[in-house]
Structure 1
Amino acid sequence: MSVDAKLQSLGLTLPEAPAPAANYVPYVVVGDMVYVSGQISADENGLITGTLGADLDVEAGQYAARRCALSLLAQVKAACGGDLGRLKRVVKLGAFVNSTADFTQQPQVVNGASDVLVDILGDAGRHARAAVSAPSLPMGVAVEIDGVFQIDG
């Protein structure tokens, strides 16, 4: 099943690839690798803001992380000229969770991204990752995730 067909079967739609918020590019392609800049948590209603352990629970954080993953895929699609069929695998995610000093469930929050990538891509969605706490993130968002992806060259 194609990635687009799998997204449709899951009832998911990729957002438009977000434009950078500062002086950087959204992705860089080097050989068969795509390095995607950090994607902040947002949905059709705007930014998903808040702090895990204060005003957001793990479930809300997982939703925010899931939205980051969909934005990552949107950037990969743009890097592939609109053809997600070129995506071979997710290599690594680097995730930052806006959380209080005593919140320790960053890995569970980032599972929202990891799970949706595996749901969409199967084994090609399995990846290495880091999930760390941050005392604040740009524009007050709950989660920011960057990624490395392998594509057909």
Structure 2
Amino acid sequence: MPEAAAPPGAFVGAIRNGGIVTVSGQVPIKDKAVLRAGHLGKDVSLEAGRECARWALLNALAQLERIAGRLDRVKGFVRLAGYVAAAPDFTQHGAVVDGASEMLREAFPECWPHARIAVGVASLPRGVPVEIELTAVLSSAEA
């Protein structure tokens, strides 16, 4: 699990309201560097985009763990939002974001189901091809 990074702006990485945690959009950072830059359908392959979605999810889970204390407190997920920087004719946004959804299913086999959106955008922060936002539900037991 990567270390939860400090946000690069005037916001927090995640916020808790009762048993709900909303994780701010996370990008594919690995070892404190952008994993890949570019646009799907132009200079980033589908598989590279899926890998970026997985790394963005790992960073989201790091934020979730930081605020929850431990990931075994996660009771379920509400929503995963995936933003995909893509060429105008690219149409496989869902397949890219599946990289994150499938990893969530592997990591949390008992409570992974979530609502989801996959949106194509012209650009994302730091030039990355994917950004992932996550909302989770925690158990009521304290850390």
Q: Normalized against structure 1, the TM-score is what?
A: 0.87
Q: Distance in 1 between matches of 2:81 and 2:23?
A: 10
Structure 2 residue 22 is the aligned partner of structure 1 residue 29: no
Structure 2 residue 101 is the aligned partner of structure 1 residue 114: yes
Q: What one-letter code is carried by the residue in structure 1 that aligns with 2:57?
A: A
| Residue 45 of structure 1: how far off its partner (Å) | 6.8
Q: What one-letter code is carried by the residue in structure 2 that aligns with 1:61?
A: G
Match of 2:2 among 12, 15, 19: 15
8 Å CA contact 1:27, 1:37 repeated in 2 = yes
8 Å CA contact 1:65, 1:113 repeated in 2 = yes
Q: What one-letter code is carried by the residue in structure 2 that aligns with 1:40?
A: V
Which residue does the alignment assign to 2:33? Answer: 46
Moved over 4 A (4+): none
| Residue 41 of structure 1: how far off its partner (Å) | 1.4
Unaligned 5+ segments in structure 2 are none
SS at match of 2:48: helix
8 Å CA contact 1:91, 1:149 repeated in 2 = yes
Match of 2:129 among 142, 147, 151: 142
Unaligned 5+ segments in structure 1 are 1-13
Structure 2 residue 113 is the aligned partner of structure 1 residue 126: yes
Percent of residue pairs identical: 40
Q: Deviations over 1:69-113 (max 9, x none)?
A: 1111111100112x1111111210111001011000000000000
Q: Distance in 2 between matches of 1:42 and 1:68?
A: 7
8 Å CA contact 1:17, 1:75 repeated in 2 = yes
8 Å CA contact 1:20, 1:26 repeated in 2 = yes
- Number of residue equivalences: 139
| Residue 57 of structure 1: how far off its partner (Å) | 0.9
Structure having the larger proportion of residues in helix: 1
8 Å CA contact 1:41, 1:49 repeated in 2 = no
Structure 2 residue 55 is the aligned partner of structure 1 residue 67: yes
RMSD, matched Cα: 1.1
Q: Distance in 1 between matches of 2:32 and 2:39?
A: 18
SS at match of 1:125: coil
